[in-house]
Amino acid sequence: MGMEASTEGAPDLTPQTVTKLASADDPRALSRSLREQPVHKVGDMFHLVTRRSDVEDALRRTAVFSWGAVGMNLGNIRPLIPLQVDPPKHVKYRRILDPLFAPKKMALLEEEVVALVKELVDAFAPKGSCDFHEEFAVPLPCRVFLRLMGLPLEDLDLFLALKDDIIRPPGVTLEEQAPYREKAGRAVYSYFERVLAERKAHPTDDMLAQIMQGEVDGERLTDEEVLDICFLFIIAGLDTVTDSLDCIFAYLAQNPEHRRQLVADEAVIPSAVEELLRWESPVPAVPRATTEDIEIGGCPIKAGQQVMLLLASANTDDADHPGVDEVDLERNPNPHLAFGGGVHRCLGSHLARVELRVAVREFHRHIPEYELAPGTVLEYTTGLRSLHHLPLAFPSAG
Ligand code: HEM
């Protein structure tokens, strides 16, 4: 007989527990206590899946754990492509998009990212202090994205405002937040409608142009499909890199021995980035909805229920992966789930890696020694793990 999904063993369990995996000072401790049960049922509809083997299994079984059935509205009026589309259609979209984000293509961006990073660092290096979040982690991914898509730099503030109103709208409940998301959603659609019209009149050769030329079953993507891809890129590609930068630099500011390790040997940076993505898990959970009655770890879950797969908890589950309860910047191999897994595994992971590796390398070349500004109490955000502010102090370069 299957056991009941339980809330025992987890402190203070509410539907918001999953958001605490992002905002906790130590999400690893919360994850550890959550893993005492494979599944926690929260309210009538909501289940948290805590253990690595079950999370991996669910990520793979897309017919049973569907994204399309989640019904999450982020201000979009059609499913976001490819995230909210289930296989087999999903595969067709990824066939178009994967080559555009392939490692070799992304490596070509390195020099441009180096230039952007230097520009940002040069602006605050002489001051001896910065708010890393405001002055670095927020603008960098947005500027890279604008360059990639061939969009004007003047639109930076507009993009930042739109993605904030979608990801972190004012209000607490979904009802309170919905009008902000809908308004921002309408603005995203009309922005890209205008851009697509311009591109048809004056073709370019950037990534947006390549997406517009994409074909599924011998037919061009429709304008609506292109819009639905662009909408997702704004949600998926800007905030996540900001969050990861905040997490990584907050960690290095507080762990000087690790920071000095990668300053002394830059060859450590790629594995250090992977390890800190695993440790911090900036995207702590991903949603799915069940399409049939199932059991996880002996716990029955009915069809049509919402399931949160806790990537953060899976990433520090030492049941089959001993040693993952500590940070090892040279961990290799490091099969973490910070980019998800299965068919929806992050499309932009190679772009994110270029941004994060270059940011870590170039920042430390200019500013190898820094710490949290005196008196700083870090406040992590809920939902996605990021910081409201990250004040750093360092010897002035001026
Ligand atoms: C370090 C930064 C990033 C992290 C931690 C991250 C994390 C993730 C995760 C966990 C998923 C899986 C979602 C799920 O299974 O429900 C995902 C999917 C996705 N990510 Fe990222 N992401 C990052 C950067 C990016 C960037 C730069 C882009 C650029 C466009 C991007 C585009 C996407 C897209 C389009 C998907 C959906 C893929 C699909 O459904 O097939 N991500 N990401």
Measured in angstroms, how far is the CA atom of residue 13 from the centroid of ligand 1? 27
Measured in angstroms, how far is the CA atom of residue 339 from the centroid of ligand 1? 6
Measured in angstroms, how far is the CA atom of residue 398 from the centroid of ligand 1? 38
Measured in angstroms, how far is the CA atom of residue 298 from the centroid of ligand 1? 30
Beta carbons of 275 and 334 less than 8 angstroms apart: yes
Given this model, what pLDDT does residue 128 score?
97
For residue 238, the ligand 1 atom closest to its alpha carbon is 27
Domain ranges of the chain: 17-380+389-393
CA distances from 1 to 175, 200, 297 (A): 39, 61, 11
| Ligand 1: residue whose CA is nearest its atom 35 | 347
pTM metric for this prediction: 0.96
Choose which residue among 240, 244, 337, 345 to substitute to test ligand 1 binding: the one with the highest number of ligand atoms within 8 A of its C-beta.
240
Beta carbons of 165 and 274 less than 8 angstroms apart: no
* β partners of residue 49: 39, 309
Measured in angstroms, how far is the CA atom of residue 8 from the centroid of ligand 1? 32
The residue with tokens 């070509």 is 108
For residue 233, the ligand 1 atom closest to its alpha carbon is 30
Measured in angstroms, how far is the CA atom of residue 240 from the centroid of ligand 1? 8
Beta carbons of 209 and 199 less than 8 angstroms apart: yes
Measured in angstroms, how far is the CA atom of residue 236 from the centroid of ligand 1? 5
Angle between helices 239-254 and 223-237 (to 10 degrees): 10
| Ligand 1: residue whose CA is nearest its atom 23 | 240
Given this model, what pLDDT does residue 111 score?
97
Give ligand 1 pocket residues (Cβ under 6 A). Answer: 82-83, 94, 232-233, 236-237, 240-241, 244, 282-283, 286, 338-340, 344, 346-348, 351-352
For residue 340, the ligand 1 atom closest to its alpha carbon is 10
Measured in angstroms, how far is the CA atom of residue 95 from the centroid of ligand 1? 16
| Ligand 1: residue whose CA is nearest its atom 41 | 344
| Ligand 1: residue whose CA is nearest its atom 6 | 339
Measured in angstroms, how far is the CA atom of residue 230 from the centroid of ligand 1? 13
| Ligand 1: residue whose CA is nearest its atom 31 | 348
Measured in angstroms, how far is the CA atom of residue 346 from the centroid of ligand 1? 4
| Ligand 1: residue whose CA is nearest its atom 40 | 83
Nearest to 312 by CA among 39, 55, 12: 55
Choose which residue among 21, 346, 349, 384 to substitute to test ligand 1 binding: the one with the highest number of ligand atoms within 8 A of its C-beta.
346
**Coil, helix or strand at residue 381:** coil
For residue 90, the ligand 1 atom closest to its alpha carbon is 41
The pLDDT tens digits along the chain (398 residues) read 334 444 444 445 665 677 788 999 999 999 999 999 999 998 877 899 999 999 999 999 999 999 999 988 899 999 999 999 999 999 999 999 999 999 999 999 999 999 999 999 999 999 999 999 999 999 999 999 999 999 999 999 999 999 999 999 998 888 899 999 999 999 999 999 999 999 999 999 999 999 999 998 899 999 999 999 999 999 999 999 999 999 999 999 999 999 999 999 999 999 999 999 999 999 999 999 999 999 999 999 999 999 999 999 999 999 999 999 999 999 999 999 999 999 999 999 999 999 999 999 999 999 999 999 999 999 999 889 999 999 999 998 65
For residue 343, the ligand 1 atom closest to its alpha carbon is 41
**Coil, helix or strand at residue 314:** helix
Measured in angstroms, how far is the CA atom of residue 232 from the centroid of ligand 1? 9
CATH number for the segment(s) 17-380+389-393: 1.10.630.10
| Ligand 1: residue whose CA is nearest its atom 37 | 83
Secondary-structure percent of the chain, ordered helix, strand, coil, rounded to 5:
50, 10, 40
